Amino acid sequence: MFIYEHPFVRFRPEKQKNFVEKKQPFYSKSVHFRTLIYNFGSRIMKQKGTILIVDDEEDILISVKMFLKQHFERVFTEQNPQHLPRQLGQCEPDVLLLDMNFRKGDTSGEEGLQWLQKALELKPGLQVIMITAYGEVEKAVRALKTGAADFVEKPWRNEKLLATVQAAFKLVQSQQEVQQLQSRQRALTDHLDSSAGDIVGNSPAMKEVYKTIEKVADTDANVLILGENGTGKELVARAIHRRSLRNEQVFVNVDLGAIPESLFESELFGHKKGAFTDAREDRAGRFEASDGGSLFLDEIGNLSLPMQAKLLAALQNREIVRVGSNQPVAIDIRLICATNMPLYEMVREKTFRQDLLYRINTVEIQLPPLRNREGDVILLANHFLRQYARKYQKSGLELHPAAQQKLEQYPWPGNIRELRHAMERAVILSEKSILTPGDFLLHPDFHQSPDFRLSDDTLNLEEMEKKLVQRAMTKHHGNISKAADELGLTRAALYRRLEKHGL
């Protein structure tokens, strides 16, 4: 007698009579009740998978279909292997059970292997389970080498058959999840790339940058991008990734200046559950997340010496170790770094490791500031004008020639980022179709005459230092090297003073 035990309903033969009489007279026959419970249990346990069984023995097809139908929503059978290509297209199975032999007296398994190859050609990634007779294990091993997922021997136990099919189906589900994640990743990367925009510029300085990008993109060479704040270093990094052989993989952006030193290892290398107080689960770091793709380390000049040493070790060994673990994890990344800091001066001042600099700058790209990009200011201004006109639904906007002249004469200490913000503000606030000079409120500190004198209304050293730095930056149009020479400082020292006074 078949007895089905559902997790929520337990049925005992000895209690069958009392149960039926007390509860439902309609189920006076115990077999009806057992059938109902069985069907209910089968229905809720079925998996949304499609199974195709190809075997020349009708009895096997019927028995296997009846059994697997209890566990999977769709089960199809086929006696003639010649119809396999058509069935693959119509049924679109997740798992194929395929016999090794189809002709009476044939035990070579060659026909099954041929159909296995055909099935994998027509539907790559299909999970195929070979059905083989007892004693044909060597042939089954050949099938595994050809691409089969597993095999079952005749005669089989139902538990073994079900476990084999379910294992293959779970592998299909995992592959589908990976494909979905990869599709989402590509869509997200495309969205981020479109949001970031393309590099705009036709100046001679930018044409040299384009040439370097084209030469280095399809290699795996480490790239160091140098340039002032707002010059578009991330755009260049993304352009390199898009043109590389890894363009189908992920692009991970890490702002090293925003990571506290206490969280550096956890963020970059990951951690194991319980490694520290807040480590409630295993977590992959940015290196593992970018495996196979590109890792962009922005503001690398802000790293302290201890963090530089840890980063160097990971780059040299091409492997990382999660916090709380002693198991190394191999990594395969394309490294792109960027900074606005004077790394070579920092090496001389021993605030940046020379060996790390050599590791990250196989190819170096120097981005010019906007003031040195002849003709690009108006090109960029019109680009942003069109972009924000669409965003804020203000069609027909134009730049007045006087406004263009004002934009060209301004030194743009904040580079492209400052120009973009200036254009967005002008588009938002303007009530006219033509933007005039009055629509652009630029930084007043850079509109003073180069001949201004320090006033006598203060003798405060901090204020005097700030004004001297401002004067040097204005005189040399924001050129850090020339301003530093004028003040008798190193570039690093001038950077610190600019940051100190918020300039």
Per-residue pLDDT, averaged over 102-131, amounts to 84
Q: What's at 67, amino acid-wise?
A: F
pLDDT at 426 over 60: yes
Residue 180 counted as domain residue: no
Query: How do residues 78-104 score in pLDDT, each as one tens digit?
Result: 988 899 999 888 888 999 999 888 877
Residue 182 counted as domain residue: no
Strand 398-399 versus strand 434-435 pairing type: parallel
What CATH number is attached to the domain comprising 399?
A: 1.10.8.60
Query: How do residues 381-407 score in pLDDT, each as one tens digit?
Result: 999 999 999 999 998 899 999 999 999
pLDDT top residue among 466 and 38 = 466
pLDDT top residue among 192 and 303 = 303
Per-residue pLDDT, averaged over 174-182, amounts to 74
Q: What's at 335, amino acid-wise?
A: L
Domain that holds residue 311: 197-366
pLDDT at 370 over 90: yes
Distance separating alpha carbons of residues 26 and 8, to the nearest angstrom: 21
Residue 147 counted as domain residue: yes
**Contact in structure between 118 and 110 (CB atoms under 8 Å):** no
Same domain (yes/no): 252, 314: yes
Share of the chain above pLDDT 70, in %: 83
Same domain (yes/no): 430, 494: no
Query: How do residues 483-503 score in pLDDT, each as one tens digit?
Result: 888 788 887 888 888 877 777
Q: Which residue's entry shows tokens 């998978």?
A: 49
pLDDT of residue 188: 62
Residue 243 counted as domain residue: yes
**Contact in structure between 298 and 253 (CB atoms under 8 Å):** yes
- 3-class secondary-structure state, position 225: strand
Residue 93 counted as domain residue: yes
Cα dist. 148→30, 92, 180, 341, 434 in Å? 44, 17, 24, 56, 69
pLDDT at 453 over 50: no
Residue 184 counted as domain residue: no
Locate all alpha helices (DSSP H) within 372-460, ordered by sequence. Answer: 376-391, 401-409, 415-429
Task: Report which DSSP code applies to 55.
Answer: -
Same domain (yes/no): 210, 315: yes
Cα dist. 79→58, 84, 85, 184, 226 in Å? 7, 9, 13, 40, 67
Final residue in a domain of this structure, among 401, 422, 442: 442
Q: Which residue's entry shows tokens 């099954």?
A: 112
Same domain (yes/no): 202, 292: yes
pLDDT grade for 238, boundaries at 50, 70 and 90 = very high
Question: Rg of the Cα trace of the chain?
Answer: 35
pLDDT top residue among 93 and 11 = 93
Residue 379 makes CB contacts below 8 A (sequence gap 6+) with 200, 201, 202
Lowest mean pLDDT among 12-16, 148-152, 231-235, 497-501: 12-16
pLDDT top residue among 89 and 5 = 89
Final residue in a domain of this structure, among 173, 189, 213: 173
Query: How do residues 180-237 score in pLDDT, each as one tens digit?
Result: 676 666 656 555 555 546 789 999 999 999 999 999 999 999 999 999 999 999 999 9
Residue 164 CB: number of other CB atoms within 10 A? 18
Same domain (yes/no): 309, 429: no
Query: How do residues 29-67 score in pLDDT, each as one tens digit?
Result: 333 333 433 444 444 467 888 999 998 888 888 888 999
Same domain (yes/no): 93, 167: yes
What CATH number is attached to the domain comprising 67?
A: 3.40.50.2300
pLDDT of residue 451: 40
pLDDT of residue 268: 92
Distance separating alpha carbons of residues 129 and 167, to the nearest angstrom: 11
Same domain (yes/no): 155, 228: no
**Overall number of domains in the chain:** 5
Check: pTM over 0.85? Answer yes or no. Answer: no
Residue 474 counted as domain residue: yes
pLDDT of residue 140: 73
Residue 67 counted as domain residue: yes
Same domain (yes/no): 496, 458: yes
Final residue in a domain of this structure, among 366, 395, 412: 366
Q: Which residue's entry shows tokens 């600099």?
A: 357
- Number of helices (H), then strands (E), belonging to the chain: the values are 20, 14
pLDDT of residue 17: 40
Same domain (yes/no): 165, 251: no
What CATH number is attached to the domain comprising 231?
A: 3.40.50.300
Task: Report which DSSP code applies to 422.
Answer: H
Same domain (yes/no): 381, 349: no
pLDDT of residue 452: 40
Same domain (yes/no): 456, 316: no
Same domain (yes/no): 460, 388: no
Cα dist. 309→89, 131, 306 in Å? 56, 57, 5
